[in-house]
């Protein structure tokens, strides 16, 4: 059992849906990023997705691309992202942290070294968007052997033939991408998402969390009503980009979390 498994068991026992928040590590700089991340649990965040800055984030829209550029420009690295997670762990030993990003920085560090360091920093799961199931031996299987969840994306184009392959070694939760395209590109519609979530849940007991295109408390609630929870990223990152005070950012996050938790 990982912290992610424990969190879903806790939420399930309470009859609540999950709220997952994504922020880019090191955006706009290390200290400010850490301040925001430290405040997320008290704002109602159940699981933290920490973006791993990368120069070519192909699945991300402009908002998150610019966040990666700001973070990299401020000197954020893979090591500093692990340092940020470790700093967070000094005050919070229960909220799960998922690193979300691309394989190149992990490959450059070396998979074995990365997994040891990530585990030591308190990372609980990985979402690596450019590693398909056919490459599971590369990182997915070693990560699970190291005690970390490997979370896979399913999309509107993941048909019934492909779905079993996607689910094969997925653990923690399935991240359903509610729209075709990049992050922040369109709004999710619960009426479109509901049958897709049901189709995935018919094939797995793992929780299905929906992300992409969720940017208001009302949308967060509507999507959580048809899934096991919601993920919000671009809308939060946009608040950071605007330079809003941490207190305002966290108040916005709390409104989104309240939406999901009221579903």
Point out the residues that are catalytic: 49, 60
**pLDDT tens-digit series, residues 14-70:** 999 999 999 999 999 999 999 999 999 999 999 999 999 999 888 788 999 999 999
Low pLDDT (below 50) residues in the chain: none
Note the pLDDT of residue 180: 67
3-state secondary structure the chain: CCHHHHHHHHHHHHCCCEEEEEEECCCCCHHHHHHHHHHCHHHCCCEEEEECCCCCCCCCCHHHHHHHHHHHHCCCCHHHHHHHHHHHHCCCCCCCEEEEECHHHHHHHCHHHHHHHHHHHCCCEEEECCCCHHHCCCCHHHHHHCCCEECCEECCCCCCCCHHHHHCCCCCCEEEECCCCCCCCCCCCHHHHHHHHHHHHCCCCCCEEEECCCCCHHHHHHHHCCCCEEEECHHHHHHHHCCCCHHHHHHHHHHHHHHHHCC
Q: Which residue has the tokens 């200290």?
A: 31
Q: Please report the pLDDT score of residue 52 as a whole number.
A: 97
Where exactly are the structural domains of the chain?
Answer: 3-261
Q: What is the pLDDT of residue 23?
A: 98
At the fourth CATH level, which superfamily is domain 3-261? Aldolase class I (3.20.20.70)
pLDDT at residue 179, as a whole number = 75
Using the CB atoms, write b or e for 77-115: b if 16+ within 10 Å.
bbebbbbbbebbbeeeeebbbbbbbbbebbeebeeeebb
CA distance 173 to 229: 10
Distance CA 183, CA 127 (A): 14
pLDDT on residue 261: 98
pLDDT computed for residue 195 by the predictor: 95
């Amino acid at each position: 059992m990982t912290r992610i498994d424990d969190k879903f068991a806790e939420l399930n026992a309470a009859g609540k849906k999950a709220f997952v928040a994504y922020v880019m590590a090191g955006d706009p700089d290390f200290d400010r990023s850490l301040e925001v991340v430290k405040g997320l649990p008290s704002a109602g965040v159940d699981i933290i997705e920490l973006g791993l800055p990368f120069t070519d984030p192909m699945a991300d829209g402009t908002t998150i691309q610019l966040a990666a550029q700001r973070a990299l420009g401020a000197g954020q690295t893979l090591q500093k992202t692990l340092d940020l997670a470790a700093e967070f762990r000094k005050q919070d030993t229960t909220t799960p942290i998922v690193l979300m990003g691309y394989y190149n920085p992990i490959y450059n560090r070396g998979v074995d070294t990365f997994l040891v360091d990530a585990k030591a920093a308190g990372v609980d799961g990985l979402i690596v968007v450019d590693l398909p199931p056919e490459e599971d031996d590369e990182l997915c299987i070693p990560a699970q052997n190291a005690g970390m969840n490997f979370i896979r994306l399913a999309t509107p184009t993941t048909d019934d033939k492909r779905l079993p392959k996607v689910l094969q070694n997925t653990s923690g939760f399935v991240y359903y991408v509610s729209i075709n395209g990049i992050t922040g590109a369109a709004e999710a519609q619960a009426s479109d998402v509901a049958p897709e979530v049901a189709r995935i849940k018919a094939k797995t007991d793992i929780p299905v969390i929906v992300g992409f295109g969720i940017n208001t408390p009302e949308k967060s609630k509507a999507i959580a009503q048809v899934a096991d929870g919601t993920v919000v990223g671009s809308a939060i990152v946009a608040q950071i980009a605007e330079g809003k005070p941490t207190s305002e950012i966290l108040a916005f996050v709390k409104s989104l979390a309240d939406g999901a938790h009221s579903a």
